[in-house]
Amino acid sequence: MTSDDRILIARILKQNDQRAYSELVNRYQSRLRYSLRQLTGWDEALADDLAQDTFIKAFKNLASFKGESQFYTWLYRIAYREFASYKRALKPVAPLPEILTEILPDTHHANPMTDVNTHRDLAHALAQLPYEQAASLHLHLHCEFTQQEVADIMGAPLGSVKSHLLRGKNTLRVLLSSWQTNASDKGAKQA
Amino acid sequence: MNNHPQRDVSDDIFRRLRKSEPYLEDNGFTAAVMAHLPKQAELPLWQKSGLIILFGLIGVALAASMLPVQITPLAPLAAMLTDHIVKLEVFGFTAAATFTLAGAALWFTQHEM
């Protein structure tokens, strides 16, 4: 936890200073909302609702935060619980092969990896994976949490996280190779 | 000859997207969160103390009013100490009522109003 976070949290707990919490929300809102967009197939409204619920629950439970981890990590733990409970309430998605081509975008440009749309495309691809795999991949590969931290955030054994990562990567490789093939074909036709 | 180890395609795309992660403008998000937080009124210490004493006195008065004879709020204690007219149960009830109401006052001052 950064010293700034620690000071702000102390002000909230001791002086009930809600402006200090406003600073914390402002500090982390972008990263958390981006992560939730990645996990919800870039559904901006849903991601913002989940992020809002996360920050409200974090405020209510701030006294239970012991500072043993980064505040950011603790926040992600709450966010993941919100996201997982939302996903569990949903019906199962269609099997992957039937929808594989639907998620592959035809909006690839000269430098697709720097295009803002690529963030959405990856979010759409992640949304096709089981949510535990998508979350493991995003938390580990994008947010750069260690595998143990991912396990803590997800409340899962380390072995399960490793398994989710392996399976998620394999599935994503299929999705991305088709994506690259489509992009190459499209480029060849245009040439 | 390729000197770089084989990179997983997913590692590569995540790495590249991490570098280009957009900053999401607040656009009222923080204000919306703050508007949904539970409101907590913080009373000054003298007001808290005053409320606790007030509720304590109310408790004593209530307990005394339930005694069979008309006496002042402090009479049960005085009577018990002098000629044992008042039974111990009455004193116990008075104390319990006082502490309950004082506890309620304490809770009241520390929670939402």
Q: Where are the domains of chain B?
A: 45-110
Handedness of CA A14, A16, A17, A22 (dihedral sign): positive
- Residue A146's CB is within 10 A of a number of other CB atoms, namely 12
Quickly tell me which residue has 């081509």 as its tokens: A101
Domain boundary assignment for chain A: 1-90, 95-191
Asked if A71 and A65 touch (Cβ cutoff 8 Å), the reply is: yes
Question: Is the CATH number 2.30.30.140 carried by domain A1-90?
Answer: no
pLDDT at B43: 62
Q: Does A30 contact chain B (CB < 8 Å)?
A: yes
Q: Which residues of A touch B11 (CB under 8 A)?
A: 141, 169
pLDDT at B61: 72
Q: B34: closest CA among A49, A22, A15?
A: A22
Question: Would you write out chain A's pLDDT as a tens digit for each of its 191 residues?
Answer: 566 899 999 999 998 889 999 999 999 999 999 999 999 999 999 999 999 999 999 999 999 998 888 999 999 999 999 999 999 998 665 555 444 444 444 444 444 445 678 899 899 999 999 999 999 999 999 999 999 999 999 999 999 999 999 999 999 988 877 666 665 565 556 55
Topology (CATH level 3) of domain A95-191: Arc Repressor Mutant, subunit A (1.10.10)
Q: Which residues of B touch A15 (CB under 8 A)?
A: 42
Same fold, A1-90 and A95-191: no
**Could you tell me how far CA A17 lies from the centroid of its own chain?**
29
Higher local confidence (pLDDT), B20 or B1: B20
Confidence class for position B107, pLDDT limits 50, 70, 90: confident
In angstroms, the separation between the Cα of residue A19 and the nearest Cα of chain B is 9
pLDDT at B52: 77
Q: Does A178 contact chain B (CB < 8 Å)?
A: no
pLDDT tens digits for range B5-59? 456 778 888 998 999 999 999 999 999 999 999 876 556 666 777 877 887 777 7
Q: Does A176 contact chain B (CB < 8 Å)?
A: yes
Output the furthest CA–CA distance in chain A (Å, rounded).
66
Asked if A69 and A25 touch (Cβ cutoff 8 Å), the reply is: no
pLDDT at A90: 85
Name the burial class of residue A14, with classes exposed (0-12), middle (13-18) and buried (19+) by CB atoms within 10 angstroms of its CB.
exposed
Among B11, B13, B33, select the one facing A55 at the smallest CB separation.
B33
Its ipTM equals 0.80
pLDDT at A103: 44
pLDDT at A91: 65
Are B10 and A55 an interchain contact pair (Cβ–Cβ within 8 Å)? Answer: no
In angstroms, the separation between the Cα of residue A89 and the nearest Cα of chain B is 24
Q: In the numeric block, which tokens belong to residue A49?
A: 């609702």
pLDDT at A163: 97
Would you list the DSSP string of A72-133? HHHHHHHHHHHHHHHHHHSPPPPPHHHHTGGGS-S---SSGGGSHHHHHHHHHHHTTS-HHH
pLDDT at A57: 97
Q: Which residues of A touch B17 (CB under 8 A)?
A: 113, 118-119, 122, 142
pLDDT tens digits for range B54-79? 877 777 676 666 665 555 666 666 66
Q: Which residues of B touch A177 (CB under 8 A)?
A: 9
